[in-house]
Amino acid sequence: MELKNTKHYDDETLKRWIEDESLTDRLNNKADAIRREIYGNKVFVRGLIEFSNICKNDCYYCGIRKSNDKVERYRLSEEDILACADLGYKLGYRTFVLQGGEDGHFTDDMFVDIVKKIKNLHDDVAITLSLGERSYDSYKRLFEAGADRYLLRQETSDKDHYSKLHPETMSFERRRQALRDLKEIGFQVGGGFMVGSPYQRTEDIIKDLRFLEELEPAMIGIGPYMTQHDTPFRNFPNGSFEMTLRLVSILRILFPYALIPATTALGTINPLGRERGLQAGANVLMPNLSPTMVREKYSLYDNKICTGDEAAECRACLELRIKNAGYEIVTDRGDVITYDKNTRKYS
């Protein structure tokens, strides 16, 4: 099995795969076979620490957007974040994902400090950051401090569509450039998009796939768009579960080597969504490690799952679910298969 698929799929084919309901099972099976050849039945888990829901941006789809005055805002202290990582380590997590709104309180120095402290305590963990758009120099400092991966979904690869999802202050070009900067610096980079976001057309999704082909990210995260009742998009419906499953499979077919999560949004739209995601070609899960007290407040969309569970419960629950779906959790950093630990580079 080649790690990279060099075959070109034309727009017609992709369109059919994306739209045709009758193809879901076939695509899922094909993708699962590819994933098993490359990653076996292993599932990598990442402990997700949602460190702040304070954000300077105003994305129309997102529940923690600046203008939403209905959310109770919170910010974890450095101490809280380190305590989450510590608990996560004991539960067997070997990757921590720090994700939050674009909260100006957190300077480069603070993140550098947090990354170094976690790495000093445990030399066998990977750190993934998901802090939004920052300068090249900022990304570089974070990488040099030891951060390994960075998640930044492009959200959409069509400029007009981008401007329908975001206010004018946010730039389509800047987001794409940030992804290229991250890749150049050496991060294992994660792109991605929402499926069924307002105004999205099939051709926009095809553009996303083309953009990803060019970027060759290590990770690709997708989930259905989910309505949040306090956003300007409150009247738009959720994205399609089945289409998201087909897209997970399309991603596995196009990017056999990639780390692809079965996302929380997929688990929210359907009670067995994450299991179905794994069976459709995903190989990563990102359970929540945030303190239970703040979970509810990181409300990107309505009815988000697992907001009441303790981290240990989440872990036990997932272990069982994954086993039942036919896979196995491993305690491992779970780097992308093309990654070389010694040089910190991937091909």
Residue ranges that bind ligand SAH, judged by CB under 6 A: 61-62, 99, 101-102, 130, 132, 152-153, 155, 194, 223, 225-226, 228, 265, 300-301
| Shortest-Cβ-distance residue relative to ligand SAH | 132
The residue among 39 and 162 lying less far from ligand SAH, judged by its C-beta, is 162
Helix H segments across 199-240? 202-215
Minimum gap (Å) between residue 171 Cβ and ligand SAH: 13
Minimum gap (Å) between residue 145 Cβ and ligand SAH: 19
Report which of 13, 4, 9, 19 is spatially closest to residue 210, judged by C-alpha positions.
Answer: 9
The residue among 28 and 244 lying less far from ligand SAH, judged by its C-beta, is 244
**Angle, CA 206 vertex, CA 135 and CA 17 arms, to 5°:** 140
Minimum gap (Å) between residue 143 Cβ and ligand SAH: 17
The residue among 88 and 100 lying less far from ligand SAH, judged by its C-beta, is 100
Minimum gap (Å) between residue 164 Cβ and ligand SAH: 14
User: Pairing state of beta strands 95-100 and 126-130?
Assistant: parallel
Report which of 104, 102, 98 is spatially closest to residue 84, judged by C-alpha positions.
Answer: 98
Give buried/exposed letters for 206-243 (b at 16+ CB in 10 A, else e).
Answer: bbbbebbeebbbbbbbbbbbbbbeebbbeebebbbbeb
Minimum gap (Å) between residue 226 Cβ and ligand SAH: 4
Count the alpha carbons within 13 Å of 17 in the hemisphere toward its beta carbon.
25
3-class secondary structure, 68: coil
In degrees rounded to 5, what are phi and psi of residue 144?
-65, -25
Minimum gap (Å) between residue 101 Cβ and ligand SAH: 5
The residue among 24 and 228 lying less far from ligand SAH, judged by its C-beta, is 228
In degrees rounded to 5, what are phi and psi of residue 314?
-55, -45
- Give Cα 70 to chain centroid, integer Å: 25
The residue among 211 and 301 lying less far from ligand SAH, judged by its C-beta, is 301
The residue among 225 and 327 lying less far from ligand SAH, judged by its C-beta, is 225
Minimum gap (Å) between residue 323 Cβ and ligand SAH: 27
Minimum gap (Å) between residue 223 Cβ and ligand SAH: 5
Minimum gap (Å) between residue 153 Cβ and ligand SAH: 4
**Tokens read off for 155:** 């959200």
Q: For residue 27, what are the contacts with CB-CB under 8 A and spacing of at least 6?
A: 17, 246, 249, 250, 253, 280
Question: What is d(CA 127, CA 85) in angstroms, rounded to the nearest whole number?
Answer: 10
The residue among 135 and 331 lying less far from ligand SAH, judged by its C-beta, is 135
The residue among 39 and 172 lying less far from ligand SAH, judged by its C-beta, is 172
Count the alpha carbons within 13 Å of 321 in the hemisphere toward its beta carbon.
21
Report which of 240, 339, 337 is spatially closest to residue 1, judged by C-alpha positions.
Answer: 337
